[in-house]
Chains A and B, each alone.
Chain A
């Protein structure tokens, strides 16, 4: 009889162990600087899910959908959620091509050519409050093969969406080639340092305010 009691005690004690949080990758800089003060921007809980509008040009809506999914998967505790909307006037983020979509093609996943680029613009007013929408503008370069352009857009759209989450260091300081937020991304999905950085950002108080109401 003693043996079952001992086994039960061991089982209960094992069940009561409190596992430690995992060790996370080192982070890079996520804030902008204005007048020497760090500017921390992120979406707060009252703004979730953040509404994204992608102009219906070529594969852009699908690229945005895929990119948002990649970012949402970095969060374990509901810190960020996004939804695609069909009306740009209801969106907090608008994504568009500067001059139309590229020729359709399957992405060449082996290519890391800089066949495209993107710019994300956040307007912040004099009271340090965001003036939505955030705008993402994408360009592609005709000197590259369509599969190279498609692969580049896959990387760059997700990279720019990272800026819309709040990874707004203008110099991409501290990032490396294995990070999606590297200035010239060669990967198409967030890596461990991207995840660790965006996790820290979403557990840090923002200094850029969001406008009241939604």
Chain B
């Protein structure tokens, strides 16, 4: 029942005043290995640290809570990391959509928890992506945000966003990988409020 009420709170129209703020964030993302394998010697396949851009729409709720919807796009080189060397094997992009709830923790600090979906978008259908990237993958996300105490600030903030999903592709399944691998991603971003829409009810 609590779950139903929470969803209703997220989807119901705001009571008196709707205020939606849009934030643009730019930063960098680290991703752990997508695949670990061993052929003669162990190695892994993982994206290099790469840029990330995110657009977030946030709506304040009651009792200090806020909800947001985030669309983020990141890209990086995918590399095979062996014991003594790394080899670039192509470019990889990801698109992530997530809905989250936020709440203030301390002055300036806000915590964020949410769920969403992630889609891998490889540059070429080769290697582990030779039979496609597979369906949208569910993810869970956590974050913390610090609003910079600047005069006449435009909502400048620093954010750390962590998310977790499980990775496997049709090609990996076809060669005998049976279980997906947990992939952790950590992004550090600077964000700015780019627009606020206000609408008052009569």
Say if A and B assemble together: yes
- Contact residues of A with B, CB < 8 Å? 12, 15-19, 21-24, 45, 72-73, 75-79, 81, 195, 199-200, 203-204
Picked from A23, A77, A200, the residue with its CB within 8 Å of the CB of B127 is A77
Show 22 residue pairs from A and B whose CB-CB distance is below 8 angstroms, ordered by the A residue. Answer: A15-B165, A15-B166, A17-B179, A18-B181, A18-B182, A19-B181, A22-B175, A22-B176, A23-B176, A24-B39, A73-B130, A75-B127, A76-B128, A77-B35, A77-B127, A78-B80, A78-B88, A78-B90, A200-B39, A200-B40, A203-B39, A203-B41
User: Which 9 pairs from chain A and chain B are nearest by CB?
Assistant: A22-B176, A78-B89, A19-B179, A203-B40, A15-B182, A203-B39, A21-B37, A77-B80, A21-B38
How would residues 144 to 188 of chain B score, 1 for a CB under 8 Å from any chain A CB and 0 otherwise? Answer: 000000000000000000001110000110011111111000000
Which residue of chain B is the closest to A192 with respect to CB atoms? B175
Instruction: Give every chain A residue within 8 A of B165 (Cβ-Cβ).
Output: 15
Within the complex, what minimum Cβ distance (angstroms) separates B55 from chain A? 27
Smallest CB–CB gap between A185 and chain B, Å? Answer: 22
Smallest beta-carbon distance B181→chain A, Å: 6
Apart from A18-B36, A76-B175, 14 more pairs, CB < 8 Å: A12-B164, A15-B166, A16-B182, A17-B179, A21-B37, A22-B177, A22-B178, A24-B39, A76-B127, A77-B45, A77-B127, A78-B88, A78-B90, A200-B40
- B175 surroundings in chain A (CB, below 8 A): 22, 76, 195
- Point out the residues of chain B lying under 8 angstroms from A15, CB to CB: 164-166, 182
Are A19 and B40 neighbours in the complex by a CB distance under 8 Å? no
Interface size range on B against A? 20 to 34
Taking CB atoms, residues of chain A closer than 8 Å to B182 are 15-18
Asked if B127 contacts A45 (CB within 8 A), the reply is no
Q: Which residues of A contact B179 (CB under 8 A)?
A: 17, 19
Closest to A1 in B: B2
